Amino acid sequence: MLGQLRKAGSARLLNSFLHRGCAVCDRPTPKSFCFDCQRQLQDQIRNRPQISASSEPLFVESLGAYDGVLKRAILSLKYENRPEVAQFLGAVLGRQWIEAARSLPAKPLYALPIPLHSERQRQRGYNQAALLARSFCRVSGLTLLENGLVRSQATVPQHQLGIEARQKNLEGAFAIGKSLQRRQAKAGSLGVVLVDDIYTTGVTIQSAEKVLKRSGISVLGTVVVARA
């Protein structure tokens, strides 16, 4: 079963590399993005509005607003089977994090992607947050714990719900994975950074933070591609 799933996943990955169109506009290009879209993406990231960190319960670093080319890139990553888009976005996040994290009093050791609902992941063939985290870690030097957080129960997709229902839906949705439990038991206290594709209401991140806090793990920050 697992072998079959793996095979399906790599076939999907292979297909996506054979598909040589721009992930945003579909024009032929050997890269993830054509020249125009790449430039627009870089402009959007460069000109992103600075959001004051003091209004946040958590330090959040993003590449910009969920809008324009950045939004289209995320949509292709999530819904058009373009996992390689995560490589570029994760690397930019990694470089940005190195700068932003200088102001943090403590340094996180591990990066934890927000886990997908297992049914979702099976359909998609990958968890986009995990792919982003891989690329993010390669650049930032943080250690990736891909299953540091796990889903403890099936939840309804968040975007179908209002804020209150979102909170309720996510209560108890996350649990700490074995890899993180082991490290936590050894170290006594740990600092982590969470990685996700979009930050909407912050409810997902907060509920993950709650679970981690309960085990004495500090969430020192969050990195997301875009903020809605």
**Residue 72 or 117: which CB sits closer to Zn ion?**
72
Q: Least distance (Å) from Zn ion to the CB of residue 26?
A: 7
**Residue 25 or 104: which CB sits closer to Zn ion?**
25
**Residue 27 or 122: which CB sits closer to Zn ion?**
27
Q: Least distance (Å) from Zn ion to the CB of residue 202?
A: 31
Does residue 22 bind Zn ion (CB under 5 A)?
yes
Q: Least distance (Å) from Zn ion to the CB of residue 214?
A: 44
The piece of 7-15, 20-28, 185-193, 201-209 that touches Zn ion (CB under 5 A) is 20-28
Q: Least distance (Å) from Zn ion to the CB of residue 39?
A: 10
Q: Are 152 and 210 in contact (CB under 8 A)?
A: no
**Residue 24 or 112: which CB sits closer to Zn ion?**
24
Annotate the chain with DSSP letters as a single string.
Answer: -HHHHHHHHHHHHHHHHH--B-TTT--B-SSSS-HHHHHHHHHHHHTPPPPPGGGSSS-EEESSBS-HHHHHHHHHHHHS--TTHHHHHHHHHHHHHHHHGGG-SS---EEEEPPPPHHHHHHHSS-HHHHHHHHHHHHH-PEE-TTSEEE-S----GGGS-HHHHHHHHTT-EEE-HHHHHHHHHHS-EEEEEEEEEESSSHHHHHHHHHHHHTTEEEEEEEEEEE-
Structure token pair of residue 209? 């933070």
**Residue 63 or 220: which CB sits closer to Zn ion?**
63
Q: Which of 16, 24, 114, 115 binds Zn ion (CB under 5 A)?
A: 24
Question: By CB under 5 A, how many residues form the interface with Zn ion?
Answer: 5
Q: Are 187 and 151 in contact (CB under 8 A)?
A: no
**Residue 46 or 214: which CB sits closer to Zn ion?**
46
The piece of 22-30, 67-75, 143-151, 156-164 that touches Zn ion (CB under 5 A) is 22-30
Length of the chain: 228
Q: Binding string to Zn ion for residues 25 to 64, with x set by CB under 5 A, is what?
A: x--------x--x---------------------------
Binding positions for Zn ion, rule: CB under 5 A: 22, 24-25, 34, 37
